């Protein structure tokens, strides 16, 4: 369905200054969220104008998992010259695999629909749709794309799939996440610094590591719903593994906010409030800058509002919580 050329752009030497822009959850859809398309284009143009060396998008690129929306995403990224492994890293989100309820009436039908989704076929479609971005990555699993390691300037980006297959008990709405045992085992084998070629490890993953229960100010009923349908399973164990690998920052999405936070001492950057739902209703992205041997992370907020209010995404629209830092020096 999708075609690409095996060409790579030149990159900066590992010792030079380097900037990674990170965003998540653009939820592109011609049918439901046309305003996101305009927001996404404005954001990409601004990121490139600011001199970004590499872009990371951590899932929910599309909102429906429909091949037509993948084609839309490809067209936009190609137009901006980003459909290139040296310029772009992408990992899947739950909407890329399962889609989601987008109208009130869908809330009743989606739990039945999701049982019919072919998880492995949808993942294969995702990989095919963005095939150029996986050229040259180091695959740790001969049978799967994930986990992979990609060199980007002074960094080694570890790409993970946190999307769980559907399960009535563990993932009834497709929105819970976990790093699989296979990926955990393969990552645990990367204990030698040479495994990253002297580069600084970063992680790109879709699911959050926030404690939504602690952040919530709503009723206990809503907290129970969130606990069952928006969980990142084994998050403490996963973060400890990242720490053992020397991971300097974890880039993710899923919960529609842009925020910097440090659960259990690890630096995380959520980029999911880039084009919708964030309490700060302006376009934004996270920026990781390497200079002088150090990495600084900040949230860049544009003086441009979200392009018309978007319909709240069912199971993905969250309340405001206490403000979090907008810049961190590592």
Q: How far apart are the first and last CA of the chain?
A: 42
Higher pLDDT, 227 or 155: 155
Higher pLDDT, 71 or 292: 71
- pLDDT of the residue at 326: 67
DSSP string, 240-269: HHHHHTT--EEEE-SSS-EEEE-GGG--EE
Contact between 204 and 185 under an 8 Å Cβ cutoff? The reply is no
- pLDDT of the residue at 100: 84
Examine residue 1 and state whether it is found in any structural domain, yes or no.
Answer: no
Examine residue 214 and state whether it is found in any structural domain, yes or no.
Answer: yes
Q: Confidence class of residue 65 from pLDDT cuts 50, 70 and 90?
A: confident
Examine residue 68 and state whether it is found in any structural domain, yes or no.
Answer: yes
Examine residue 179 and state whether it is found in any structural domain, yes or no.
Answer: yes
Contact between 128 and 172 under an 8 Å Cβ cutoff? The reply is no
- Helix, strand, coil % over all residues of the chain, rounded to 5: 30, 25, 45
- Four-CA torsion 194, 192, 56, 290, nearest 10 degrees: -60
Residue 171's contacts (CB-CB under 8 Å, 6 or more residues apart) are 164, 165
Contact between 86 and 7 under an 8 Å Cβ cutoff? The reply is no
Please state the rounded mean pLDDT for residues 70-83: 96
Omega of the bond leading into 147 within 30 degrees of 0 (cis): yes
Q: Total domain count for the chain?
A: 1
Examine residue 107 and state whether it is found in any structural domain, yes or no.
Answer: yes
pLDDT, tens digit, for every residue of 27-56?
999 888 889 999 999 999 999 999 999 999
CA atoms within 13 A on the CB side of 129: 26
Task: Kindly report the pTM of this predicted structure.
Answer: 0.88
Please state the rounded mean pLDDT for residues 274-280: 94
Distance CA 207, CA 230 (A): 9
Lowest-confidence segment of 128-137, 199-208, 309-318 by average pLDDT = 309-318
pLDDT, tens digit, for every residue of 232-249?
999 999 999 999 999 999
Distance CA 252, CA 263 (A): 13
Examine residue 131 and state whether it is found in any structural domain, yes or no.
Answer: yes
- Given a cut of 80, whether residue 212 has pLDDT beyond it is no
Contact between 222 and 315 under an 8 Å Cβ cutoff? The reply is no
Examine residue 12 and state whether it is found in any structural domain, yes or no.
Answer: no
CATH number of the domain to which 149 belongs: 3.60.21.10
Q: Confidence class of residue 227 from pLDDT cuts 50, 70 and 90?
A: low
The whole domain housing 33 covers: 18-329
Please state the rounded mean pLDDT for residues 305-321: 53
- pLDDT of the residue at 194: 83
Please state the rounded mean pLDDT for residues 134-161: 96
Examine residue 58 and state whether it is found in any structural domain, yes or no.
Answer: yes
pLDDT, tens digit, for every residue of 87-122?
999 999 999 999 988 777 777 788 888 999 999 999
């Amino acid at each position: 369905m999708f075609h690409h050329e095996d060409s790579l752009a030149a990159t900066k030497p590992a010792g030079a200054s380097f900037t990674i822009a990170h965003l998540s959850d653009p939820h592109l859809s011609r049918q439901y969220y046309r305003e996101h398309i305009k927001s996404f284009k404005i954001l990409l143009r601004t990121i490139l104008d600011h001199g970004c060396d590499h872009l990371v998008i951590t899932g929910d690129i599309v909102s429906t998992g429909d091949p037509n929306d993948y084609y839309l995403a490809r067209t936009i990224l190609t137009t901006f010259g980003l459909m290139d492994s040296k310029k772009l890293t992408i990992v899947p989100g739950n909407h890329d695999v399962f889609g989601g309820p987008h109208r009130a009436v869908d809330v009743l039908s989606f739990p039945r629909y999701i049982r019919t989704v072919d998880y492995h076929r949808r993942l294969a479609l995702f990989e095919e749709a963005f095939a150029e971005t996986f050229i040259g990555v180091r695959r740790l699993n001969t049978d799967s794309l994930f986990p992979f390691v990609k060199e980007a300037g002074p960094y080694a980006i570890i790409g993970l799939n946190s999307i769980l297959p559907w399960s009535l008990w563990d993932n009834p709405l497709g929105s819970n996440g976990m790093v699989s045992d296979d990926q955990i085992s393969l990552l645990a084998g990367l204990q030698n610094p040479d495994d990253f070629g002297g580069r600084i490890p970063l992680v790109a993953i879709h699911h959050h590591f926030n404690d939504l229960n602690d952040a919530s100010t709503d009723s206990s009923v809503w907290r129970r719903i969130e606990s069952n349908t928006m969980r990142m399973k084994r998050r403490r164990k996963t973060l400890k593994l990242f720490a053992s690998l020397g991971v300097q920052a974890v880039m993710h999405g899923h919960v529609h906010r842009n925020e910097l936070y440090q659960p259990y001492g690890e630096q995380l950057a959520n980029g999911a409030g880039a084009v919708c739902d964030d309490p700060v209703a302006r376009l934004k992205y996270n920026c990781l800058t390497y200079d002088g041997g150090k990495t600084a992370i900040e949230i860049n907020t544009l003086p441009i509002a979200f392009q018309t209010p978007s319909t709240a995404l069912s199971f993905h629209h969250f309340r405001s919580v206490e403000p979090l830092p907008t810049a961190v020096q590592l």
